[in-house]
Structure 1
Amino acid sequence: MARDRKTESFTRAGLNLIQQALSIYDADLRLAVCNRPFQEMFGLPPHLVTPGARFDETLTYLVRQGEYGEVDDVEAFVQVRVDQALAFLPHYVERIRANGRAISVEGSPLPDGGWVTVYTDITATKRQEMLLRARSEELSDQVLTHTEELALTNRRLAATISQLQEAKAALTEMEARTRLVTEMTPAHIGHLDGNGKYSFTNKRLSVVLPGRANDIIGESFEQALGAEVAALLRPALARASGGDPSVQEFTDPESGRRIRTAFTPDEHADGGVYLLSTDVTEETQARTALEQTHKRELAVQLTSGLAHDFANLLTIILGLQARLEKLPLPHGAHELTGATRMAVRRGGSLLDKIANMTGARNMRAAPVVVQDFLDSFTPLAEATLPDGVSISVTNDLPHPALMLDAGTLQDGLLNLVLNARDAIGIAPGHIALKARSVLDTWLEITVSDTGRGFSKDALEQALNPFFTTKGDEGSGLGLTMVYDLVKLAGGTLRLSNTRDGACVTLRLPLRPAEAEARPRLILLVDDIPDIRTHVRDLLTDLGHQVIEAASSEEADSLADLPGLDWVLSDINLGGTDGVALLRSISMRQPALKLALMTSLPPDDPRYSAGADYWPVLRKPLDSAALMHLLALEAPQ
């Protein structure tokens, strides 16, 4: 504040040294600043040269002092000049004051509204012109008149040049700010003229669409974006060129990123269009996972009642079969009852698969060393293959570790390997599993085989429940389960045929993790020694250090230890409340990461009271659940 007053003092002193009078009024025509010559030239009282003084009051004072000579209607005279001032148009005028002195008045509007006006005493200049006229009888009146007009024109031209320079400086500053804003925006902003060529662009195209150039001024739509993407967007661009704005989402074939582009017609250029493109890949992944979750919830609602009734019917059928087999039956009847019993058991197995698909499933992403995961998966997959069928696993990922749900991914890949094995049949064949990164956006895993490939119907329907090409041996739920798991993770799955056989390509969001996470210091709170021992062993096997507490009182005293990262407490601590313990710790140590564990059902009030604030792990705990918990980066 002291520095502002000092700067203001320096500024005012500098303005006072100017020989010309100067005043600045804001957009509301209130005085912002003036110099001493302004007050002295017009003889203004102190209250009219104080910041905030009204323009109309100053003008009224000058009129009443005779500055403008005889004025019949003061209010009308003042109002006309107020209206002219509010128009904010630059002007230059010369007038003779009531005291006989001549002044020029040069007014220039400010970019944000308001006026800066410079008053110059030109009495000496006018006198020189009069002397020239009086003493130069040899000069014609026409030459003298032209000389005076030229002098006036020069003064007006100088004022105009000054105004243009000020306007140019303001426009340059505005353009620089606009350019800075567009470059800071995490999106590509561009403009296409009526000929479909870029006339403006920020330097963000390569960020949104990897592999494209940033310097695309003068290039066509196809040259800048590529023929394939341009073909996808051409209909929306044509509509915008005709005056119809639109928004389109598309997947970039090269990077696999999901892009949203808004097309806005340019009202000032015939056929011109503004484009705004943003990367919505993460939003799409989250939306895909949410949609799949809603589908699963709907499937649960639709199938739970049917499955219950179906299970009851199967139980009744099995009971009747058992009673029927105790009766004397004709020859061959026992084979029929045995086949019926096998069909009932197959129906029960089908119910289990439906329950696994529609039941609640939580994706638990945790740091996974990819090569270790693949090394452990390879022998598991080989054990399911017959002689003559081999498998190769290739890892081309640049990241050593990723955030993955290892159990879910293993189940899905094993299902794909089994499908590939069945497609190869008894003939010798090969299965290839490859993992790679797609422009640091997707983890892409392909499982290809040398089998007979997908039929036309399979390519169209294989992801639908109960579609199978295996006859009575297949349930038609294998690929559907893999598709469900991929969608829950926010990914995609695609079926195709290669020259040698079939190929399944799944893409999951690529989220790198540290290959070797920093060991955490964890306070473990549970009143049952055996449970503390089990959880402590799980945590130490993961490379973390553990401090144990058997009661809430002991834990509360240990929570202030320096270097502590996590507190993991049971909800029921021998009659005391683990939720209250964490609430007390969080008030003193807000940076600590807190979590609960329990065997209470989710509808228990104590469970919900803790889940509203912190993660709650269900007992019995396993390594995957703890890895997922400790991978969280921020306190809950």
Structure 2
Amino acid sequence: MPHSPLQIRTLTTAGLNLIAQALSIYDSDLKLAVCNAPFQHMFDLPDHLVTPGATFEDTIRHLVTAGEYGPVADIEAFVTERVEQALAFVPHYMERTRANGRTISVEGSPLPQRGWVTVYTDITRSKQQEALLRARSEELSDQLVAYSEELSSTNRELAAMNTALAEAKRELTEIEARTRLTTEMMPAHIAHVDDGGHYTYSNRRLSTMFPGRDTEILGRHIGEVLGPRAFERIAPKLQQAYDGTASVFEFGDEASARRIRAAFTPDGRGGVYILSMDVTEETQARAALQQTRRRALAAQMTSGLAHDFSNLLTIILGLQSNLKRLDGLPAEAPALIEATLAAARRGGGLLESIADVTARRTLRPGATDLHALLEDLRTLAAPTLPTEIRLNVICDAPDRPMLLDAGMVQDSLLNLILNARDACGTHGTITIRCRALHETWIEWVVSDTGPGFSPRALERAFDPFFTTKGAEGTGMGLPMVWDMTKLAGGDLRLSNTEDGAQVVLRLPYRPAVAAPTGLVLLVEDREDLREIYRDMLTGLGHSVVEAVSADEATALLADVPDISLILSDIQLEGEATGIDLAARVAGSNTAIVLMTSLPADDALSVQARARAPVLQKPFTAEDLAALTGVLTEAAQ
């Protein structure tokens, strides 16, 4: 059974009383914390001066008054001087002869948090032996006597020094332990390399930044640990740090598909401190926000122009239709009129494409089965392909549902398949491969056996209205795919292989919320909305508890252990937001879904989407069910 603090204090005091030397410990305010019985007996102190809380000043004053230090002309000046010396907290060793004729040594060592541990030793016998040696000096040489005295004094000073060194070592060990604990708790890799690039220090976070890397890296070269491709990316910045210039930069680690932000700082002694952070989710959110802003700017620039252009096309179509009905037109007139009408209609189609690209578009992510999505895509694409073009669909993705806007993904992939079909002509092979990439991305690779992208197409394929199909193309297909991909925080890349063209589409890896029917914590500060959401949740078979703030929700989570899902608004009563609540439950078994009416490009909304699934208000029970992967009969 563990001892109580009182028992521990009693045991400690009993142990100290067994020590031959007198001992006292004063805190940083020079108030007695603890002393042993020999301390009271040695100086014949009254009980109130050996009681915790007694001041050092009162003790010195008592000793001076009792004649401990012999005749003292100005007692208060003597006391003030001793108190000031103690407040300097400087280690010391001294020997003095008391008024009773006995000699004591005094060893004082300051504590790390300030305060004093002082040991008083009666060295009268040692001094008597020294006197005996001096009395027999005719039998011993003067050199031996001096040496003996010096050795005795040195030994006492050495003992005091050893005590101080032991305390310093303990303090340094404690500081090192605190520093290492702090570095291990930080969500970053912190390391140091010497002038040869070998690790001399590292916390154990490397594998969280670079999955698959070893964590036992001390003494190894940074190039060996990171691998040649990653080291090639950082080598110029590392050399820059060796040359004395600090830098902060980002790079992509191909092996893990992560985006890493690194800071290299010279240590002033030839080595470099390294701080690395995984900013993949931040980069995904940043890409989505940038695309949203680009779309808003494009819509602002084109809306007025499109309106006026649409009116002009309407006039042209009307005039051409009237011209077509006139009698006595030349024989070649009908063909020219039809060509003009076709061009005007094509202009109208381009306006619709512009509207599709710039129109406000809200992501509606839901729990999506990737295998089922690709099978549906195969069904949609098959009728559009010539009989001599084969479509291969390979899905190596995990079986668990992913949070995706299935409609947007399907539209993007179908667009890429149709582009591949046009490239192949009458025969060839189109392959779609889907996989999860290090739990960072969901990746689709669409490849074909056509002629591949021309250098100009690789450079300008994402530019609106750029096309290599002549009159048959609008030049809006790939730009729309790029737009939808960036809007979701993803990435789109074009390249050529030995067999043809290849398009790599990546979207953030977001597993769907696992929310089996159970207890849901609803966090919403508006009572009317809580009532609506409560009805949705109970209709899906859930039980519901409610809170109006993140702090109240946190308290409920501590008291109610069976909560399986949190549905929380972003903006709540109090200082903390739903994003703060999501951070508090990160790493636990409790899933969280955030909801908001903020626009997609709002800073809070972007920050929330990087942290958790987000429902855009207004939403229905079906939207909620799709996001959580739970669809009951009530929702159907």
Normalising to structure 1: TM-score of the pair? 0.80
- The aligned counterpart of 2:274 is 275
- The one-letter code matched in structure 2 to 1:518 is P
The Cα of 1:505 is off from its aligned counterpart by: 0.4
- The aligned counterpart of 1:241 is 242
- The one-letter code matched in structure 1 to 2:458 is L
- The one-letter code matched in structure 1 to 2:510 is R
The Cα of 1:442 is off from its aligned counterpart by: 1.4
Q: After superposition, give the CA deviation of every residue in 1:582-619 in whole Å (9 maximum; x if it has no partner).
A: xxxxx9x99786799xxxxxxxxxxxx99589967658
The Cα of 1:182 is off from its aligned counterpart by: 2.9
Asked if 1 retains the 8 angstrom alpha-carbon contact of 2:615 and 2:624, the reply is: no
Asked if 2 retains the 8 angstrom alpha-carbon contact of 1:521 and 1:563, the reply is: no
Whole-angstrom distance in 1 between the partners of 2:540 and 2:347: 58
Whole-angstrom distance in 2 between the partners of 1:503 and 1:280: 27
SS at match of 2:235: helix
Q: After superposition, give the CA deviation of every residue in 1:54-109 in whole Å (9 maximum; x if it has no partner).
A: 54554455445543344556666556555544443333221112332211111122
* CA gap 1:250/1:553 in 2 versus in 1, 3 angstroms: closer
Q: Is the counterpart of residue 194 in structure 1 residue 195 in structure 2?
A: yes
Q: Is the counterpart of residue 185 in structure 1 residue 186 in structure 2?
A: yes
The Cα of 1:450 is off from its aligned counterpart by: 0.9
* 1:197-596 equivalent positions in 2, closer than 5 A: 197-267=198-268, 270-328=269-327, 329-426=329-426, 428-513=427-512, 518-519=516-517, 564-565=542-543
* CA gap 1:299/1:21 in 2 versus in 1, 3 angstroms: same
Q: Which has the higher contact order (CA 8 A, sep 6+)?
A: 2
Q: More displaced, 490-499 or 87-96? A: 87-96
* CA gap 1:457/1:79 in 2 versus in 1, 3 angstroms: farther
* CA gap 1:151/1:222 in 2 versus in 1, 3 angstroms: same
Asked if 2 retains the 8 angstrom alpha-carbon contact of 1:595 and 1:615, the reply is: no
The Cα of 1:42 is off from its aligned counterpart by: 3.4
Whole-angstrom distance in 1 between the partners of 2:255 and 2:540: 49
Can you give the 5+ residue segments of structure 1 that lack an aligned partner in the other structure? 523-551, 568-578, 580-586, 597-608
The Cα of 1:275 is off from its aligned counterpart by: 0.7
- The aligned counterpart of 2:523 is none
The Cα of 1:327 is off from its aligned counterpart by: 3.0
* 1:49-60 equivalent positions in 2, closer than 5 A: 49-56=50-57, 58-60=59-61
Whole-angstrom distance in 1 between the partners of 2:518 and 2:374: 27
Q: More displaced, 497-506 or 56-65? A: 56-65
* CA gap 1:243/1:413 in 2 versus in 1, 3 angstroms: same
SS at match of 1:320: helix
* CA gap 1:206/1:561 in 2 versus in 1, 3 angstroms: closer
SS at match of 2:511: coil
Asked if 2 retains the 8 angstrom alpha-carbon contact of 1:366 and 1:631, the reply is: no
The Cα of 1:451 is off from its aligned counterpart by: 1.0
Q: After superposition, give the CA deviation of every residue in 1:114-145 in whole Å (9 maximum; x if it has no partner).
A: 32111112122222332343367523343233
The Cα of 1:251 is off from its aligned counterpart by: 0.6
Asked if 2 retains the 8 angstrom alpha-carbon contact of 1:497 and 1:503, the reply is: yes
- The one-letter code matched in structure 1 to 2:369 is V
The Cα of 1:423 is off from its aligned counterpart by: 1.1
SS at match of 1:494: strand
SS at match of 1:452: coil
Whole-angstrom distance in 1 between the partners of 2:215 and 2:225: 9
Q: After superposition, give the CA deviation of every residue in 1:460-502 in whole Å (9 maximum; x if it has no partner).
A: 1111222111122212111111111111221111100011111
SS at match of 2:451: coil
Q: More displaced, 64-73 or 474-483? A: 64-73
Whole-angstrom distance in 1 between the partners of 2:232 and 2:74: 70
Q: After superposition, give the CA deviation of every residue in 1:216-274 in whole Å (9 maximum; x if it has no partner).
A: 2222232222222222222322332333322111110211101111222214xx21111
SS at match of 2:256: coil
- The one-letter code matched in structure 1 to 2:424 is I
Whole-angstrom distance in 1 between the partners of 2:531 and 2:180: 60
* CA gap 1:566/1:78 in 2 versus in 1, 3 angstroms: closer
Runs of 4+ in 1 over 6 A off after TM superposition: 552-563, 589-596
SS at match of 1:104: strand
SS at match of 1:383: helix
Whole-angstrom distance in 2 between the partners of 1:341 and 1:595: 54
The Cα of 1:520 is off from its aligned counterpart by: 6.8
* CA gap 1:159/1:610 in 2 versus in 1, 3 angstroms: closer
The Cα of 1:448 is off from its aligned counterpart by: 0.5
* CA gap 1:343/1:246 in 2 versus in 1, 3 angstroms: same
Q: After superposition, give the CA deviation of every residue in 1:384-405 in whole Å (9 maximum; x if it has no partner).
A: 1112111100111244432221
* CA gap 1:630/1:5 in 2 versus in 1, 3 angstroms: same
The Cα of 1:418 is off from its aligned counterpart by: 0.6
Asked if 1 retains the 8 angstrom alpha-carbon contact of 2:537 and 2:544, the reply is: no
Whole-angstrom distance in 1 between the partners of 2:407 and 2:263: 40
* CA gap 1:313/1:438 in 2 versus in 1, 3 angstroms: same
Whole-angstrom distance in 2 between the partners of 1:393 and 1:623: 30
SS at match of 1:487: helix
- The one-letter code matched in structure 1 to 2:176 is E
* CA gap 1:189/1:615 in 2 versus in 1, 3 angstroms: closer
- The aligned counterpart of 2:580 is none
Whole-angstrom distance in 2 between the partners of 1:461 and 1:225: 34
Asked if 1 retains the 8 angstrom alpha-carbon contact of 2:449 and 2:501, the reply is: yes
* CA gap 1:562/1:106 in 2 versus in 1, 3 angstroms: farther
- The aligned counterpart of 1:5 is 6
* CA gap 1:430/1:29 in 2 versus in 1, 3 angstroms: same
The Cα of 1:322 is off from its aligned counterpart by: 2.7
Normalising to structure 2: TM-score of the pair? 0.80
Whole-angstrom distance in 1 between the partners of 2:303 and 2:261: 38
* CA gap 1:155/1:507 in 2 versus in 1, 3 angstroms: same
Whole-angstrom distance in 1 between the partners of 2:284 and 2:23: 61
Asked if 2 retains the 8 angstrom alpha-carbon contact of 1:371 and 1:400, the reply is: no
- The aligned counterpart of 2:141 is 140
Asked if 1 retains the 8 angstrom alpha-carbon contact of 2:485 and 2:492, the reply is: yes
The Cα of 1:15 is off from its aligned counterpart by: 2.8
Whole-angstrom distance in 1 between the partners of 2:315 and 2:255: 57
* CA gap 1:595/1:241 in 2 versus in 1, 3 angstroms: closer
Q: After superposition, give the CA deviation of every residue in 1:540-573 in whole Å (9 maximum; x if it has no partner).
A: xxxxxxxxxxxx9999999999973469xxxxxx
Asked if 2 retains the 8 angstrom alpha-carbon contact of 1:325 and 1:337, the reply is: yes
The Cα of 1:41 is off from its aligned counterpart by: 3.1
- The one-letter code matched in structure 1 to 2:322 is R
Q: After superposition, give the CA deviation of every residue in 1:141-168 in whole Å (9 maximum; x if it has no partner).
A: 4323322222222222222223323333
* CA gap 1:77/1:292 in 2 versus in 1, 3 angstroms: farther
**Number of positions where the alignment pairs a residue of Structure 1 with one of Structure 2:** 567
Q: More displaced, 410-419 or 284-293? A: 284-293
CA RMSD in angstroms comes to 3.7
Whole-angstrom distance in 1 between the partners of 2:394 and 2:511: 18
Paired-residue identity, %: 55
Asked if 1 retains the 8 angstrom alpha-carbon contact of 2:517 and 2:542, the reply is: no
* CA gap 1:64/1:245 in 2 versus in 1, 3 angstroms: farther
- The aligned counterpart of 1:116 is 117
Whole-angstrom distance in 2 between the partners of 1:554 and 1:512: 27
